[in-house]
Amino acid sequence: MRIEKGNICNMQLLFLITGFVQSSISLIDFTVVITEHQTWMVILAGLVIATPFILSYVALAKRFPGMNLIQINDAVYGRFLGKVISVYYIFFLMMTLSFNILDVGELYATFLMPDTPFIYLLIFFTATCAYAVTKGLEVLARVSHLFVVVGIIVPVSTFLLLIDQMDFSNFLPFFELPLIRVFHGIHIMLSIPFGETIVFLMIMGSVNKTEGMVKNTLTGLLIGTSSLLIAAVRNTAVLGNTEAIWTSPSFQSTRLIDIGTVLTRMDFLIGIAQTVLIFFKCSLFFYALAVAVSQLFGLKSYLPLVLPLAGIEVIIAATVFQSPVDHAAITQDAGIIYSVPLMFVIPPLSLLIAKICGLPKPERGKGV
Amino acid sequence: MILLILIYIAILLLSVPGLIKRKEWRELTFFSVLYIIAFVLGLLYVLDIPVPSPMKALQYIIADVLGIKYPQQ
């Protein structure tokens, strides 16, 4: 039984994927500590390595039209093992959603509203996401282009406004970092902006036409990655070696904008962009989580679960890490390791099993 | 504490009447389970009782038990 009744078109899928990848723009600040001035390379390498895996997600969605990840797991692995794997995915969705809610809380508590109690920031942000989720996937998809516009305008405009302060020798020397750090950076990129697109297996079943899904997914990935790349290049070119010591290189670099002493303190643009984009990502994750839990328990609608799940997410976000340092350390390590099977093993394996076993089996009486 | 109780009363008033009216008993059951979990977690947080972190447990299993970890920068 399908829980989501609405449908989205291929163009909306493109905007959803673009906005989703762009929403990891704050991740640039997070990776810079490890990959320093080679962050741009790591983003590109991440995209190249992730593409075949993301194509396997699309191939799965095309093979099981109208089905979401939980239904696909049941169809491929059977009811018991399928449910176990689905619980693993639900755990991943819950954790990732709480990390993103926490990201917004930390952004506001550190840079924008330091005097506001942390828990209130989390409650209001999560309530806003919950409201968006109750409106359904169609509404989110219909407004997705607005998020994409923010995700393009802010990096491009700040890049242009900082062009006179850029020093492109900051990118030299190439290939200076130890290989393990580059590998670590690529792993972060693979897991967070790109691997997390596994969430689209909860959404692609609602795309009205499966033709053109590959093209739109790849286009979305490329546009989204361009925004990440522009932000990474801007930060390195402006800040150079110092970018690794700032809490947020994006905030720091845009603070340096000074056009005739009129255009200054443009870091508010970064605050707005990160809030809007993380809201978009959290709404998609929240939607996927609510639908996944409802599907697992065979409910007719996901709507009754949205508010209790929001309550759980707020408390997980508030308590999962002791500090921002703890948050960064664990996410860069165990946080990206535990999700490897979910992103890079199970989907290609499901596709292989489906091909070998000829799944999904044609229904009796309907022919092939 | 008062805010927590008010929020959870509001959630109850927003969700339960519709579920009962539509006779969605299965939905009501799972709503109740998640509602109780959410309320208990909220209560623990408000009372300053440490809530166990699943990520700490994962970090322990992955890094300390299995020995899979990246070198510290």
Q: Could you read off the pLDDT of A277-335 as tens digits, one per residue? A: 999 999 999 999 999 999 999 999 999 999 999 999 999 999 999 888 888 888 888 88
Residue A366 scores a pLDDT above 60? no
For residue A255, the SS3 value is helix
Residue of A nearest to B18 (CA): A304
Q: Report the percent of chain A where pLDDT is more than 70.
A: 98
Confidence (pLDDT) at A332 = 86
Determine, for residues B53 and A321 on separate chains, whether the beta-carbon distance falls below 8 Å: yes
Determine, for residues B70 and A311 on separate chains, whether the beta-carbon distance falls below 8 Å: no
Q: What DSSP character marks residue B50? A: P
In terms of pLDDT, which residue wins out, A256 or B71?
A: A256
Domain annotation covers residue A277:
yes
B67 contacts chain A (CB < 8 A): no
Average pLDDT over every residue of A203-215: 91
Interface test with B, best of A90, A305, A321 (most B CBs within 10 A): A305
User: pLDDT by residue (tens digit) across B21-51?
Assistant: 999 999 999 999 999 999 999 999 999 999 9
Q: Give CA–CA dist A114/A116, Å, rounded.
A: 6
Q: Give CA–CA dist B6/A221, Å, rounded.
A: 43
Of A79, A85, A23, A78, which is closest to residue A279 (Cα–Cα)? A23
Q: Are A207 and A9 in contact (CB under 8 A)?
A: yes
Mean pLDDT of chain A: 92
In terms of pLDDT, which residue wins out, A33 or A48?
A: A48
B24 contacts chain A (CB < 8 A): yes
Q: Where are the domains of chain B?
A: 2-65
Confidence (pLDDT) at A365 = 52
Binned at pLDDT 50, 70 and 90, residue B8 comes out as: very high
Determine, for residues A334 and B35 on separate chains, whether the beta-carbon distance falls below 8 Å: no
Residue A263 scores a pLDDT above 90? no
Domain annotation covers residue A158:
yes
DSSP structure string for A40-81: HHHHHHHHHHHHHHHHHHHHHHHHSTT--HHHHHHHHH-HHH
Q: Give CA–CA dist A316/A94, Å, rounded.
A: 9
Residue of B nearest to A327 (CA): B55
Of A106, A103, A33, A46, which is closest to residue A282 (Cα–Cα)? A103
Residue B73 scores a pLDDT above 70? no
Helices and strands in chain A, H and E counts = 17, 0
Domain annotation covers residue A2:
no
**At which residue do the structure tokens 């020093």 appear?**
A167
Binned at pLDDT 50, 70 and 90, residue A367 comes out as: very low
Instruction: Please give the radius of gyration of chain B, using alpha carbons only, rounded to the nearest integer.
Output: 19
Confidence (pLDDT) at A364 = 60
Q: Are A283 and A289 in contact (CB under 8 A)?
A: no
Total residues found in chain B within this entry: 73
Binned at pLDDT 50, 70 and 90, residue A144 comes out as: very high
Q: Give CA–CA dist A10/B8, Å, rounded.
A: 39
Number of Cβ within a 10 Å radius of residue A217: 24
Average pLDDT over every residue of A21-49: 90
Q: What DSSP character marks residue A203? A: T
| CATH number of the domain that residue A267 is part of | 1.20.1740.10
Confidence (pLDDT) at A237 = 95
Q: Give CA–CA dist A312/B40, Å, rounded.
A: 9
Confidence (pLDDT) at B32 = 96
Domain annotation covers residue A169:
yes
Determine, for residues B26 and A299 on separate chains, whether the beta-carbon distance falls below 8 Å: yes
Domain annotation covers residue A288:
yes
Q: Report the percent of chain A where pLDDT is more than 90.
A: 75
- How many domains, chain A? 1
C-alpha torsion sign, points A35, A41, A47, A52: negative
Range of the domain at A223: 10-357
Domain annotation covers residue A114:
yes
Q: Closest to B59 (Cβ–Cβ): which among A180, A300, A330? A: A330
Of A287, A247, A225, which is closest to residue A97 (Cα–Cα)? A287
Interface of B with A in 31-50 (CB under 8 A): 31, 34-35, 37-39, 41-42, 44-45, 50
